[in-house]
């Protein structure tokens, strides 16, 4: 297979990581809370690669089940005592606090695979590449680097392709590189229907459609191009939706003319707010890090304790846009 891989300087860590995996009989793979397609795709895709390459190993993917993403993969029920002799791999998770499940702390060793800017350093082996579009792209790149050592399957290809599509918003985001497209094309050579998968990822439940309508009507955009909307817990309850089901409106709001940066504030049960920040150019992850969050330069998450902090975040975004326009 004649494919130039993502970064030849990464080859040593990829080889070290895969060799390390080969030494363990029991492997448990975690990812972040409130998972997206890249989190589940990288977690379950890696599980498939390991199982296909080493059929005798016990490999598990664990975490909270998300109904909307069950078409990608269902989580395994992992007994606590298995961790005592297991290797834990955590995918797509920048900091320890966001790992779904706490039993990972009982494991003998950890590996971290992530494409977010370095936040927490954890694990005996860390493979971080914040130039990759997604964690799924990284794992597919590892296969493309060592195709003789790592066995790809149609199911693994489907999962990894889904994560790339999800984190690039159908290849629309700036993180999409020529190499991203090459990786996607290599995965598409396997026998899964990318059309069926894309259709599954595009499904909008009726209540989510109502939320989109509400968001388009109530979304506010300042004269500086800073947009925002606040989704109260009363609103979500009336629509029968949870926090995890609000993600669909985030890229939608960025399509509105004149929007440069935008924020979606989702009220949590305790009254604080989860914030999704997005940008078309201004680097926003530094603002996110000042409010209990972080992420990518153009796509980050943060938290606001109350309406006062919401206002503070919006003021900081406004100042950022003004500074960048000079």
> What was the pLDDT predicted at 315?
97
Angle between helices 178-187 and 135-145 (to 10 degrees): 70
pLDDT at residue 8 above 80?
no
Task: Write out the H or E segment, with its range, that includes residue 315.
Answer: helix 307-324
CATH of span 207-324: 3.10.310.30
Q: What are the residue boundaries of the structural domains of the chain, listed by start? A: 8-201, 207-324
Confidence of residue 133 (pLDDT cuts 50, 70, 90): very high
Rounded Cα–Cα distance for residues 133 and 183 (Å)? 11
* 21-33 average pLDDT score: 96
> What was the pLDDT predicted at 4?
42
Of 263, 264, 266, the C-alpha closest to 239 is 266
Cβ(178)–Cβ(131) under 8 Å?
Answer: no
> What was the pLDDT predicted at 1?
34
- The per-residue pLDDT of the chain, averaged, comes to 93
What beta strand segments (E) does 73-200 contain?
Answer: 87-91, 109-114, 125-128
Multiple choice CATH, 8-201, 3.90.1640.10, 3.30.2350.10, 1.20.1300.10, 3.40.50.150: 3.90.1640.10
* Helical spans, DSSP H, in 23-134: 37-53
Pairing between β-strand 273-279 and β-strand 299-304 as defined by DSSP bridges: antiparallel
| Class of residue 308 by CB neighbours under 10 A (exposed 0-12, middle 13-18, buried 19+) | exposed
Rounded Cα–Cα distance for residues 81 and 28 (Å)? 12
| Main-chain dihedrals φ then ψ at residue 268, nearest 5 degrees | -95, 170
Rounded Cα–Cα distance for residues 127 and 21 (Å)? 13
Q: How far is CA 63 from CA 40, 196, 311, in A?
A: 9, 25, 34
Confidence of residue 12 (pLDDT cuts 50, 70, 90): confident
Q: Which residue has the tokens 């955009």?
A: 221
> What was the pLDDT predicted at 274?
94
Rounded Cα–Cα distance for residues 150 and 211 (Å)? 43
> pTM higher than 0.85 for the full model?
yes
| Main-chain dihedrals φ then ψ at residue 302, nearest 5 degrees | -150, -175
Coil vs helix vs strand at 275? strand
């Amino acid at each position: 297979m004649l494919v130039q891989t993502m970064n030849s300087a990464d080859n040593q860590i990829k080889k070290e990581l895969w060799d390390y995996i080969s030494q363990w009989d029991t492997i448990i793979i975690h990812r972040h809370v409130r998972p997206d397609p890249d989190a589940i795709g990288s977690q379950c895709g890696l599980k498939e690669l390991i199982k296909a390459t080493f059929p005798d190993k016990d490999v598990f993917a664990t975490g909270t089940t998300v109904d909307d993403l069950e078409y990608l993969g269902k989580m395994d029920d992992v007994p606590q005592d298995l961790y005592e002799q297991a290797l834990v791999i955590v995918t797509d998770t920048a900091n320890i606090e966001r790992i779904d499940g706490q039993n990972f702390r009982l494991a003998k060793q950890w590996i971290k695979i992530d494409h977010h800017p370095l936040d927490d350093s954890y694990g005996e082996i860390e493979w971080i590449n914040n130039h990759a579009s997604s964690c799924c792209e990284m794992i597919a790149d590892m296969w493309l680097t060592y195709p003789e050592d790592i066995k790809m399957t149609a199911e693994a290809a489907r999962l990894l392709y889904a994560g790339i599509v999800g984190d690039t918003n159908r290849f629309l985001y700036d993180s999409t590189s020529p190499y991203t497209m090459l990786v996607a094309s290599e995965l598409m050579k396997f026998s899964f229907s990318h059309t069926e998968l894309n259709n599954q990822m595009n499904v909008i439940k009726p209540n989510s459609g109502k939320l989109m309508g509400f968001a388009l009507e109530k979304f506010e955009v300042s004269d500086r191009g800073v947009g925002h909307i606040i989704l109260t817990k009363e609103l979500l309850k009336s629509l029968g939706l949870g926090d995890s089901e609000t993600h669909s409106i985030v890229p939608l709001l960025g399509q509105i003319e004149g929007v440069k940066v935008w924020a979606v504030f989702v009220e949590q049960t305790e009254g604080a707010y989860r914030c999704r920040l997005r940008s078309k150019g201004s680097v926003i992850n530094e603002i996110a890090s000042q409010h209990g969050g972080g992420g990518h330069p153009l796509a980050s998450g943060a938290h606001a304790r109350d309406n006062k902090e919401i206002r503070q975040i919006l003021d900081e975004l406004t100042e950022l846009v003004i500074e960048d326009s000079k």
